[in-house]
């Protein structure tokens, strides 16, 4: 049933920044995070695309929450999300084709991103339209920030560059920063492992530890288990075991 109480919009916006950061605290959307954070431009591009889908799908699902049958809500949510993903993908192809090529299959796979479906199930399907849009914006900003941080560390340490390829996203002559010349003078070289999967997991783990430490320092409560927003949570063996304990 829908929640008729008016949520605090300020809280709904900021909770995704740190307290319930979808990547670093709830551990959702890990696959696209690791795959697209090899550079800042790719990471931010994915974050912006996912944010647009989050906002639009959350608001649409919230507006239709009273007419979507409970038993058909997950297929309905996926159809709505897929529609917005298609629109976003067409816009990226039209205006930023280089980014579309870089992101590859991960752009259309936003349809099955746990963050998108999780927010639809856990929040948008139970709250008013405006609050759902704000929730999507906050979670999208948190997702984009996490990608930016991961991309910054991995790109600088792994490739010796920063914001490489930004001209393909926003145009202009600025192509980013290149530190490889400085490294060569110091007889050093970029650590390629940081742009490989192993380096991605390492940086991901470090950032998760930092985020949790910051949250503890601010006295924030422990984030809910990432399974909470999963449509299959009720029938999941893991959740059944937790209840038994």
How would residue 22 be classed by pLDDT, with cut points 50, 70 and 90? very high
Decide: 208 and 24 in contact? Cβ < 8 Å.
yes
- Residue 230, SS3 per DSSP: coil
pLDDT at 230: 53
Which pair of structure tokens corresponds to residue 130? 């405006």
β-bridge mates for residue 162, sequence order: 177
In terms of pLDDT, which residue wins out, 146 or 218? 146
Sign, CA dihedral 30-49-143-197, equals positive
Beta strand ranges found along the chain (DSSP E): 161-162, 177-178
- Residue 69, SS3 per DSSP: coil
The DSSP secondary-structure symbol of 178 reads: E
Which of 21-30, 141-150, 161-170, 227-236 is least confident?
227-236
Count Cβ atoms below 10 Å from residue 96 Cβ, excluding itself.
Answer: 20
161 φ, ψ (degrees, to nearest 5) = -135, 170
Give the pTM.
Answer: 0.86
Rounded distance, CA 38 to CA 196, Å?
8
Q: What is the 3-state secondary structure (H, E, C) of 70-90?
A: HHHHHHHHHHHHHHHHHHHHH
Q: Does pLDDT of 97 surpass 60?
A: yes
């Amino acid at each position: 049933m829908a929640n008729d109480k008016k949520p605090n919009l300020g809280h709904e916006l900021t909770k995704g920044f740190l307290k319930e950061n979808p990547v670093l605290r709830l551990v959702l959307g890990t696959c696209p995070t690791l795959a697209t954070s090899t550079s800042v431009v790719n990471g931010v591009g994915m974050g912006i695309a996912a944010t647009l889908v989050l906002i639009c799908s959350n608001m649409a699902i919230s507006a239709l929450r009273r007419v979507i049958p409970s038993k058909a809500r997950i297929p309905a949510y996926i159809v709505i999300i897929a529609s917005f993903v298609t629109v976003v993908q067409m816009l990226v192809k039209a205006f930023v084709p280089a980014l579309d090529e870089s992101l590859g299959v991960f752009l259309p796979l936003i349809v099955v991103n746990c963050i998108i479906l999780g927010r639809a199930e856990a929040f948008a399907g139970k709250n008013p339209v405006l609050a759902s849009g704000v929730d999507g914006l906050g979670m999208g900003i948190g997702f984009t920030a996490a990608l930016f941080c991961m991309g910054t560390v991995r790109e600088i340490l792994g490739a010796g560059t920063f914001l490489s390829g930004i001209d393909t996203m926003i145009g202009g002559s600025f192509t980013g920063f290149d530190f490889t010349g400085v490294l060569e003078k110091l007889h050093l070289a970029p650590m390629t492992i940081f742009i490989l999967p192993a380096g991605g997991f390492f940086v991901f783990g470090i950032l998760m530890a930092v985020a949790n430490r910051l949250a503890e320092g601010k006295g924030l409560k422990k984030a809910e288990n990432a399974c909470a927003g999963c449509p299959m949570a009720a029938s999941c063996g893991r959740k059944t075991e937790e209840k038994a304990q």
